[in-house]
Amino acid sequence: MKCTTIRRAGLSIVAAALLTGVTACGGSGGSDDSGGSGGSGKGGDGGPRLSPVAALLTAEKSTDGADSAKVESTTTMGSVMSMTADGALGWGDGLTGTLTITYTGGTMADTMRQMGTTSMEARYLPDAYYARMGDTFAEQAGGRHWIRYAYDDLESLGGSSGAYLKDQMQNTTPNQSVKLLLASGDVREVGEEKVRGQRTTHYSGTVEVADLAEKNSNLSQSQLDDLRKTLEQAGVTTETVDIWVDDRDLLVKKVEKGETTAGAYAQTAYYTDYGTEVSAEVPPASDTADFAELVKQQGAGTGS
């Protein structure tokens, strides 16, 4: 019984961390043509001031083309969790990179403490996500410390929500936060502000989450309908998005806020060192458990 409880807790923590990686990169993927209407991306040093849409189109292209960055983020969701993530991610050829994720509060942190640690290493590779759990979890998983979370399994095991998460994992990049505003149709320039000593321009808007999913994913209509129901049940309808863009047209900060049935959620992420070298190695197979197999074992062990 203890084995099943710890294994289930580990799986839920992996899922939360998986989502954190996605949102740290900007919570929406999909086709690049979602930017809607509005001005041209031209402009530049000494030229006429760009409209917010034109400026964001330029920032979206510049950030996408940078291929990698160091990421530092904080995430809170009601009483469920507060967590930090720190590392580097690349997106030139699928999402890759490594983050150190630390749970600092909420029920997730309590669960992690029961497993002997509040911190875990997360590795993102183009076809799967790997999470290194603590020794207590390994004792209940045949001595294996890592969980492999294949993106294809997300869709087969998670239905429409899993399909959406898979879509986001395989398409997400930091420039998606810029696309969030472009797709929303609600873009406004707040003004010039300093972010950690850098001069930036601050933009803001409100996003209808279900509409955004439709514009920025490759899901079928039935999957979108199911996802919309899931979002409604979770109390997620709209979120506010704020981004800060530097003089090189690169995203340096983003803040997303919204409400769920579990309480308010918010994430702040900072991006630095664009073009940094990123590496993420596949953990040893002998020290890795497969998520789909663990789910089957959990189901087989829940008879009493």
d(CA 77, CA 267): 9
pLDDT the model gives residue 278: 93
Residue in this structure with the two tokens 């997303």, named with its chain if needed: 256
Mean pLDDT for 132-138 is 85
At residue 42 the predicted structure's pLDDT band, cuts being 50, 70 and 90, is: very low
- State what percent of residues in the chain have pLDDT above 90: 31
Residue 220's contacts (CB-CB under 8 Å, 6 or more residues apart) are none
Structure pTM?
0.79
d(CA 238, CA 296): 35
DSSP 3-state assignment of 150? strand
Residue scoring higher pLDDT (236 or 122): 122
Residue 2 predicted with pLDDT over 50: no
At residue 162 the predicted structure's pLDDT band, cuts being 50, 70 and 90, is: low
d(CA 75, CA 83): 5
Residue in this structure with the two tokens 């994430």, named with its chain if needed: 267
At residue 218 the predicted structure's pLDDT band, cuts being 50, 70 and 90, is: low
At residue 44 the predicted structure's pLDDT band, cuts being 50, 70 and 90, is: very low
Strands 288-290 and 146-150, by their bridges, are parallel
At residue 116 the predicted structure's pLDDT band, cuts being 50, 70 and 90, is: confident
What average pLDDT does the structure give for the chain?
Answer: 77
d(CA 217, CA 214): 6
Range with lowest mean pLDDT among 46-55, 64-73, 185-194, 283-292: 46-55
Strand order in the sheet with 198-208: 188-195, 198-208, 238-246, 251-260, 263-272, 68-77, 81-90, 96-105, 119-125, 128-132, 146-150, 288-290
- State what percent of residues in the chain have pLDDT above 70: 67
d(CA 214, CA 21): 21
pLDDT the model gives residue 107: 86
Q: What is the residue type of 170?
A: Q
Q: Which of 25, 10, 36, 43 is nearest to 148 (CA)?
A: 10
Q: Could you say which DSSP state residue 145 is in?
A: -
Residue in this structure with the two tokens 């998986």, named with its chain if needed: 18
Query: Six-digit token pair at 109?
Result: 């942190």
pLDDT the model gives residue 59: 94
